[in-house]
Amino acid sequence: MIATKIDGRAYAEGLRERVKQAVQALPSQPSLAVVLVGEDPASQVYVASKAKFTVECGMRSLEHKLPADATEDDVVSLVRELNADEEVDGILVQLPLPEGLNSDRVIEEIHPDKDVDGLTEASAGRLSLGKPGLRPCTPTGCVMLAKDELGDLSGKNCVILGRSILVGKPAALLFLEQNCTVTIAHSRTQNLENVCRSADILVAAVGRPQMVQADWIKAGACVIDVGINRVPSKKRPGKTRLVGDVNYLPSKAVAGSITPVPGGVGPMTIACLLRNTVIAACSRRGWKAPTVLDF
């Protein structure tokens, strides 16, 4: 058996198209404000990509760049200005911030109704309590891909490998919303391989290259690999390549379906960010939420 490759790029492209359709049906353009502090090359690439897709979907992209020597108070002040700006529907502060800046403090300044990354304490609380709100993008993408592959997730055993506040914990709550039976596994979990092997859906989000081996996977399971790790290239000395948290090639012979790295969960993050921006705009402005964005 060779696992079905879950094509995150294709799903993300389709989701962006649905976002575009939703935007066209709205009374006016939603807008996404992105705050970039410093000159980190990777962050600059991410911000440029987010701006490109925002505009392609028919929304306004508002980029705010601060120098690397900006103070924490400078960043907080900008976020507060964006909170007060009625034309801004979503606010995203690109992480990581330069050394010396407290990202937790900055993120907490974002108004929860504009928190399109779903990272504030208020957003986490709404998710935990099952109340409406903006959900974290990467975990939402994981659920979308699993649901697209398996259909109804009710009753499925879902193991989340990793307990981070960015992916692991919110992913557990989101799969619970889909009526899965959820286990969070981590570095202190006893018989970790056996726990993973019990999963109908295995979400690997530990940040350790190729940690999950083929014999950790239940035959026919759906494997969602969130990891993005750079390791030395075997074919090009001195270069690096991207791998996930799952040893992909051997695991393909066991799993029923699996996300590749790159091209799996990664593209979903920006697509879900755009979806959140539309949802935030509709909630803030009293517009009817487009059903085309349901999943």
Start-end of H helices in 57-118: 72-84, 103-108
d(CA 279, CA 290): 8
DSSP letters along 247-292, please? -HHHHHTT-SEE--SSSSSHHHHHHHHHHHHHHHHHHHHTPPPPGG
Tell me which residue of 64, 70, 2, 15 sits closest to 249, measured CA to CA.
2
How far is residue 212's CA from residue 183's CA, in Å, rounded to a whole number? 16
Residue among 89, 114, 115, 117 flagged as catalytic: 117
CA distance linking residue 127 with residue 93, whole number of Å: 20
Asked whether the beta carbons of 107 and 79 are under 8 A apart, the reply is no
The label of the residue with tokens 């940040």 reads: 207
CA distance 153 to 181: 10
Catalytic residue of the set 89, 94, 210, 245 = 94
The HSE-up count of residue 277 (CA atoms within 13 Å, CB side) is: 35
Please identify which of the residues 50, 114, 169, 252 carries the catalytic annotation. 50
C-alpha span between 85 and 74 (Å, rounded): 17
Query: Can you say how many angstroms the Cα of residue 230 is from the centroid of all Cα atoms in its chain?
Result: 19
Active site residue 50: yes
List the catalytic residues.
Answer: 50, 94, 117
